[in-house]
Structure 1
């Protein structure tokens, strides 16, 4: 058994080694030019833990608020990270490439349970900031407002006016408040992704996790996958910029309720881990 003094020395040595490894990883991640660099605002970077000021840990984290793009491999909806689940319609061959076991009869409850309880698998996730995916959603909101406007002009019924008000508010939120950061691709391998998305100021490649899901009713069941999270969810605010976001510790009515108050340059390094390079108030 170690003596108290030796045990203390071992403990101190472990702390020193651990800190050295962590700092070494940070230094390597930030070495050279960033792998990508995105310009985000509070629309995409938000405080989620409003009680941080009362916690012993006084650090401030901002969280990436991402959405899933509507593409040929997705259903017709999208979601905010952590809020709703929407599935990637991937065939069995693609799901196997992620490491999923997709064998068995989907009509069997036992098989479905086994498939869906498989551990999450690592995936490469492409994030797009203020690009075609956002423009597509914005165009859809404009079209929805225009359709509702025509209907309200032709029909004075209260329902038509309510639909117009809803569509107008939805458009305003898309234009001014909702996140423009979209997941536009998931892949089992990183190779070739950067060639497909070369603009490093619009696209960031990060690691994430996906899980298997069985969708559909009896006789029409099929396999799909959904994002179980991304590795870079929380980004620590450097002490240099703490004063900028500290006054915003009180919760807002809800996400997307108000205009953004700050903007930031977020760099992704050699290990695809993000850090805040710049942060300032919106003018």
Structure 2
């Protein structure tokens, strides 16, 4: 019995050392990225019950894909990108059997995001154009339909300016170093790992890449900052209120996030 107890304790100790070693390695050296995000990009849990215990609060990373060129304004698009067969092969996917979508495995890739940059400015411009189009339609023919569309597009524009996420997906790659070199001079770039899966559309013989989820989807808030968040409820998705907190996040050598600071934002 004593023998098994010693073995169990040894395994537990070894596991803890591996975990702590990984945390230490992630924090070593210069961060791969450091951004000050807000409630727009880091969302509260859906229910308070998820953070009433003394385990801290976990915020989910809220990111987007830009609207397609020439397409109508859509604040949150499907997380699927158009891609060629050659590009998918470069990413490391085996596409010998095009039709076998169900069994094709997901693959962890490096994803590049732009924070609060040109992509977000472009979305604001599209939302503004969408609103102006609705206003023109209402002025030309005022009825319940055009009135509703004008109201909805105005609300969409307000959300784009005040509450929608400003973290936009740019591209994916199997090579982290090439991405790091390409975006080395841009301070608003984040490179992290995420799971993706290829998809083949037999009807038009096109290839697509589904961006399934980030490898690390949530950021744990240390207990020292939880008082700021503990009384807040997750806002309604239709609200256009400005964010109530900002979080400075650092990503280390393992591309894992850790909170550096959290500040309450006064309206």
**Is TM (by shorter chain) over 0.5?**
yes
User: Are the aligned partners of 1:141 and 1:174 in contact in 2 as well (CA < 8 Å)?
Assistant: yes
Aligned to 1:164: 150
The 1:85/1:143 distance shift into structure 2, 3 A limit, reads closer
1:8 aligns to 2:5 (yes or no)? yes
Q: Among residues 163, 177, 197, which one is paired with 1:177 in the alignment? A: 163
Per-residue CA deviation, residues 234-277 of structure 1 (Å, 9 max, x unaligned), is 111012111111112x4433476643211011111111111111
Q: Among residues 81, 86, 89, which one is paired with 2:79 in the alignment? A: 86
Structure 1 position 43, deviation (Å): 0.5
Aligned to 1:109: none
Aligned to 1:276: 259
Per-residue CA deviation, residues 164-202 of structure 1 (Å, 9 max, x unaligned), is 111100000000111111111111222321232234531
**SS at structure 1 position matched to 2:37:** strand
The 1:79/1:15 distance shift into structure 2, 3 A limit, reads farther
Number of aligned residue pairs: give it. 265
Distance in structure 2 (CA, Å) of the matches to 1:188 and 1:147: 41
Structure 1 position 68, deviation (Å): 1.2
User: Are the aligned partners of 1:138 and 1:175 in contact in 2 as well (CA < 8 Å)?
Assistant: yes
1:52 aligns to 2:39 (yes or no)? no
The 1:125/1:42 distance shift into structure 2, 3 A limit, reads same
The gaps in structure 1 that reach 5 residues or longer are 107-111
1:28 aligns to 2:25 (yes or no)? yes
Q: Among residues 207, 218, 228, which one is paired with 1:244 in the alignment? A: 228
Aligned to 1:264: 247
Q: Among residues 172, 188, 194, which one is paired with 1:202 in the alignment? A: 188
**SS at structure 1 position matched to 2:113:** strand
Per-residue CA deviation, residues 193-215 of structure 1 (Å, 9 max, x unaligned), is 12322345311101111101122
The 1:61/1:236 distance shift into structure 2, 3 A limit, reads same
Aligned to 2:129: 143
Distance in structure 2 (CA, Å) of the matches to 1:118 and 1:75: 30
TM-score, normalised relative to structure 2: 0.89
The 1:270/1:175 distance shift into structure 2, 3 A limit, reads same
User: Are the aligned partners of 1:77 and 1:86 in contact in 2 as well (CA < 8 Å)?
Assistant: no
TM-score, normalised relative to structure 1: 0.85
User: Are the aligned partners of 2:55 and 2:223 in contact in 1 as well (CA < 8 Å)?
Assistant: no
Distance in structure 2 (CA, Å) of the matches to 1:238 and 1:64: 16
**SS at structure 2 position matched to 1:191:** helix
User: Are the aligned partners of 1:46 and 1:65 in contact in 2 as well (CA < 8 Å)?
Assistant: yes
